[in-house]
Structure formats: C-alpha cells, structure tokens
Amino acid sequence: MKTNKLCGKCRQPVEKETKLDYPYYCPHCDENLYEFETVQEATRKVIRREIYSAEEAAHSVELYAFMQENGFCDVYDFFQSDPDILRIKNSEVSFTEVDINENTTFVIYNDSEYQATESEIKTMLQRFYSDNFKYYFTKSDCSWSVFRRLVNGIAYRGGKGYHYAIWEHKD
Ligand SMILES: [Zn+2]
C-alpha cells in the first residue's frame, strides 16, 4: 500500500507493513522500519544526489568543507566501515553515501579493478537510485555466495545496520 513516507536511508517510498509489528517496509533496503526511521515525502523534493568517483570527490569543494568539519582526512576514509558493493562485469566496486547536508547526498564509489568504465558504473548507480529501480533490478537471495556469482548486481546496506539487501541487475 502506498504511503506519503520515505525511507530515511535511501529516500525511496516505503510501503505499509501488514504482517509484522512494524508500521513500514522499505523494498529498496528490504527492511522493516519504525516511524522515526522514515521521512515525509515533501522533504524529498530538495534532495540532490551526486554520483562521483573517489578521484572526482577528492576535488569537490563541498566535500572538502564537509571533511574539514567532520574530521575526515581522506576520501578513502569513507570506505572504512562496510561500504555498499556494486558488481559490474564480474568485478566489484565499493560505494558509499555521504550526507553532505540535509539536502545533498554524495554517492562516492571506489573502483580498484577497472573492469568497467566510469560511465558504466555511474549508469548502474543512477539506475539503482532512480524511482523505478525495480525496472532494472530484481531482488535476489540474501547470500554472499549468490551475490559473488552475479555479473551485475548490488549489495546495499545504505551505511546502516548489518543487513545487506542483494539486487541482481536484469540484463
Ligand atoms: Zn530504504
């Protein structure tokens, strides 16, 4: 059932939970949510989401200011705690969300395998963060061995919790 609430993690619309003892469910994160873990839809209109490679992010004045304020020395510090993982062309690219301010989120990825081009990686992440991401991705079993066999897919935890949702990209 549709609601006017969004997931506080991924800012995608949540559904009303009907079976479990939670008010909401986020299909994107595959998690049940309490009221306080959601945000009102109206606040979403102003969300700006930018996707940058770690190299690009290192040159961002906005990110630099955020890092100064919050004691980060290096862009790669953002990847210290379990990042999200994009599988693309059988290689793995880690990515993470950094909330620069209330209205701006940077999605920063770190590719060390160089199997995919920057535009291929950005296209995949743009699809994942789009409203119609289910057009591109299908939910997969929550298992690392399943994930590691995907040609293209995403393991997503949105920087919170231990639970990863596994999404396979439909080719
Ligand atoms: Zn979510």
Q: Where are the domains of the chain?
A: 2-44, 47-169
Distances (CA, A) of 31 to 58, 102, 110: 32, 22, 26
Distances (CA, A) of 127 to 94, 119, 135, 154: 16, 12, 9, 11
pLDDT at position 9 is: 85
- Distance CA(153)–CA(138), nearest Å, equals 9
Neighbouring C-beta atoms of residue 73, cutoff 10 Å: 8
pLDDT at position 43 is: 58
Q: 28 CA to middle of ligand 1, Å?
A: 5
Q: Which DSSP state fits 170?
A: P
Q: 73 CA to middle of ligand 1, Å?
A: 29
Q: 29 CA to middle of ligand 1, Å?
A: 4
Half-sphere exposure in the Cβ direction for 77 (13 Å, CA): 13
- Within the chain, which residues score under 50 in pLDDT? none
pLDDT at position 41 is: 79
Q: Residue 4 is which amino acid?
A: N
Residue 36 main-chain phi, psi, to 5 deg: -70, -10
Output the six-digit token pair for 42.
């109206």
Distances (CA, A) of 54 to 33, 91, 118, 155, 158: 31, 17, 11, 19, 17
Q: 10 CA to middle of ligand 1, Å?
A: 4
pLDDT per residue as tens digits for the range 48-96: 899 999 999 999 999 999 999 999 999 999 998 889 999 999 999 999 9
pLDDT at position 120 is: 97
Q: Supply the pTM of this predicted model.
A: 0.82
pLDDT at position 45 is: 56
Sequence-ordered list of residues with C-beta below 8 angstroms from that of 54, at least 6 positions apart, any chain: 75, 76, 79, 108, 109, 110
Q: 65 CA to middle of ligand 1, Å?
A: 27
Output the six-digit token pair for 164.
């990863």
Helix locations, the chain, DSSP H: 54-57, 61-70, 118-129, 144-149
